Amino acid sequence: MTATGESPTTGESPTTGESPTTGESPATGVRLAAQGIAKSFGATQALGGVDLQVRSGEILALMGANGAGKSTLVNILAGVLAPDQGRIIVNGAAFQPRSPRDAVSAGIATVHQSTDRIGVPGLTTADALLLDRFASRRSALFLSRRAVRRQAAAIIARAGISLPLARDFGDLGPADRQLVAIARAISADASVLILDEPTASLSQTEAARLFDLLTGLKARGLAIIYISHRLGDLATLADRAVVLRGGRVVHDAARPIDFTAAVTAMIGRPLAHAHAAARDIAPEVVFHLRQARLGADTAPIDLDLHAGEVVAITGPLGAGKSRLLKTIFGLHRFASGKMELDGRRYMPGGPAQAIAAGVVLAGEDRHRTSFLPADWPGGTIAGTISLPYLQRWFPHGWLRREVEDRAAEAGIRRLGIRASGPRATLDTLSGGNQQKVVLARWQAEPARLLLLDEPFQGVDIGARADIIAAIRDNRLGATLIATSDSEEALEIADRIFTMEHHGLRPWAGDNLLPTTPTARSEVA
């Protein structure tokens, strides 16, 4: 489905006509042209034939819901993955990197969402700026601290930013780390800069600073691909928007960009229908949080959750959503304040006590928090579901596989999990089905409070509806969801809050289009 405006590029192919001579960058040339990119992981097809083009001096917004294929595409362009099919041309030359370093040499620099790998804690910021330069050129055998600092200063001067060069890289915040990556990209003479969710962990001022920098870079002829959920960002920056859904391009529009149409293309149905239907919530308060502070000097939080209710908390990365959930689960302590569960004081010393009390958490990265490796006993659906309840179900100590299997089968039926059986290993399941297993586990025993941290990460669209329905069907206890995606919050929650700097407030429709009345409706 294509919107009005510029048609997806077929007109200008850099291989016909004159190829740009090396060293000379045409003012408005196509920097990157990808055709027919396809990639599958086992049974899951992440990308099914994607065409993409970016020009010099252009900011292209790449949009798509979770599981639409954005990350895969970015990883292919960054040289981390190789596509199964398709061609990519960068600056007139075929682009077939065998490593991220090749990708950078070819002119594509990527700033990933995770700022982990940008530098090395323990070394200084200056070292981090020079990290790839050491690798690619023959630098001097002896490297004095002063030489390092001089070269680093030159790099950031060229990029037009300022950074504390002597500080330990590990002490830099995400905003500065990002700047390190961008500065490195510029010093490597990148023609294309890819930014993946860059403002996810930035404050307003840091984001504004980033936008200024990007606008300046754009004026210097850089081609920029900007991946983000935040329509506000995109409205400010983007010259063009491309929407991915189900691994394909479904929308391509140029300025002035109609974001409503883009979002509709993104989720496959008009935004207006994406709200959760209003419903009656029982007045019974299941969970009560009074004057709770996450840190010594953060705002106090008051929250009441009712049986059968679904409450969502949105907010940028690092705002404290995850931390709040983990604290309720017993992984951290509140600096002050108290919690009550069903009217009685609730102070778990750890996850074991929380689970015993009926408070359960499905952690952020399910592979890191809920799943055992496929090869280990317990790396199956049955094993995953039974793990928290082993003592409860088998008080005599003997593990009885039939009991596990029965519980797993019940869960499979209830949630519609597509798997070969209760003993199927987790790596045979798609992301959505995996998340269903997580849900099945915590629904295997009645829970008073279900905490879900980013439950839709890596979940394909197909499973989303099932999961949303399963969550909303839960009438026994309350559900608290942390999600950085406001659209998802709208689809699932009865009430929505926003978390910012470890404090909670009712959500006021942030980060959705300022023009769409439905989006702005108060759902507090």
Contact set for another protein, span 170-209 (CB under 8 A)? 170
Q: What part of residues 139-168 is at the interface with another protein (CB under 8 A)?
A: 139-144, 168
Considering the complex, what minimum distance in angstroms separates the CB of residue 87 from another protein? 17
Q: Which of 119-127, 156-164, 477-485, 494-502 is the region at the interface with another protein (rule: CB under 8 A)? A: 119-127
Q: Does 350 bind another protein (CB under 8 A)?
A: yes
Q: What is the 3-state secondary structure (H, E, C) of 281-332?
A: CCCCEEEEEEEEECCCCCCCEEEEEECCCEEEEECCCCCCHHHHHHHHHCCC
Question: Exactly one of 3, 274, 361, 519 binds another protein (CB under 8 A); which one?
Answer: 361
Binding residues for another protein, total number by CB under 8 A = 75
Question: Exactly one of 167, 273, 290, 367 binds another protein (CB under 8 A); which one?
Answer: 367
Q: Does 131 bind another protein (CB under 8 A)?
A: yes
**Closest C-alpha among 193, 244, 247, 188 to residue 218:** 193
Query: In whole angstroms, what is the distance from residue 30 CA to residue 28 CA?
Result: 7
Q: What part of residues 15-54 is at the interface with another protein (CB under 8 A)?
A: 41-42
Three-state SS at 411 = helix
Question: Exactly one of 50, 354, 440, 452 binds another protein (CB under 8 A); which one?
Answer: 354
Q: Which of 230-238, 285-293, 386-394, 487-495 is the region at the interface with another protein (rule: CB under 8 A)? A: 386-394
Q: What part of residues 54-73 is at the interface with another protein (CB under 8 A)?
A: 71
Q: Would you say 177 and 115 are in contact if contact means Cβ atoms under 8 Å apart?
A: yes
Question: Exactly one of 158, 273, 332, 406 binds another protein (CB under 8 A); which one?
Answer: 332
**Closest C-alpha among 211, 265, 221 to residue 242:** 265
Question: Exactly one of 5, 49, 232, 379 binds another protein (CB under 8 A); which one?
Answer: 379
Q: For the beta carbon of residue 308, count every other beta carbon within 10 angstroms.
A: 20
- In the chain, the largest separation of any two C-alpha atoms, in whole Å, equals 78
Query: In whole angstroms, what is the distance from residue 302 CA to residue 285 CA?
Result: 13
Question: Exactly one of 232, 351, 462, 503 binds another protein (CB under 8 A); which one?
Answer: 351
Q: Would you say 312 and 467 are in contact if contact means Cβ atoms under 8 Å apart?
A: no
Q: Does 335 bind another protein (CB under 8 A)?
A: no
Question: Exactly one of 208, 356, 508, 524 binds another protein (CB under 8 A); which one?
Answer: 356
Considering the complex, what minimum distance in angstroms separates the CB of residue 12 from another protein? 30
Q: Does 135 bind another protein (CB under 8 A)?
A: yes
Question: Exactly one of 34, 59, 63, 104 binds another protein (CB under 8 A); which one?
Answer: 104
Q: Of 408 and 519, which has the nearer Cβ to another protein?
A: 408
Q: What part of residues 439-468 is at the interface with another protein (CB under 8 A)?
A: 458
Considering the complex, what minimum distance in angstroms separates the CB of residue 75 from another protein? 4
Q: How far apart are the first and last CA of the chain?
A: 34
Considering the complex, what minimum distance in angstroms separates the CB of residue 188 from another protein? 10
Query: In whole angstroms, what is the distance from residue 386 CA to residue 255 CA?
Result: 53
Considering the complex, what minimum distance in angstroms separates the CB of residue 315 from another protein? 19
Question: Exactly one of 7, 10, 12, 117 binds another protein (CB under 8 A); which one?
Answer: 117
CA torsion, ordered 123, 127, 131, 137, to nearest 10 deg? -140
Q: Of 285 and 335, which has the nearer Cβ to another protein?
A: 335
Q: What part of residues 72-101 is at the interface with another protein (CB under 8 A)?
A: 75, 78-82, 98-101
Q: Which of 85-93, 136-144, 243-251, 298-306 is the region at the interface with another protein (rule: CB under 8 A)? A: 136-144
Query: In whole angstroms, what is the distance from residue 255 CA to residue 275 CA?
Result: 28
Q: Of 131 and 153, which has the nearer Cβ to another protein?
A: 131
- Beginning with the edge strand found earlier in the chain, give each strand of the sheet holding 478-482 in spatial order: 359-362, 449-453, 478-482, 310-314, 495-500, 503-506
**Closest C-alpha among 9, 190, 239 to residue 91:** 190
Q: Of 298 and 516, which has the nearer Cβ to another protein?
A: 298
Backbone angles phi, psi at 344, to 5 degrees: -110, 155
Backbone angles phi, psi at 441, to 5 degrees: -60, -50
* Amino acid identity for residue 382 in this structure: A
* Amino acid identity for residue 252 in this structure: D
Q: Of 382 and 519, which has the nearer Cβ to another protein?
A: 382
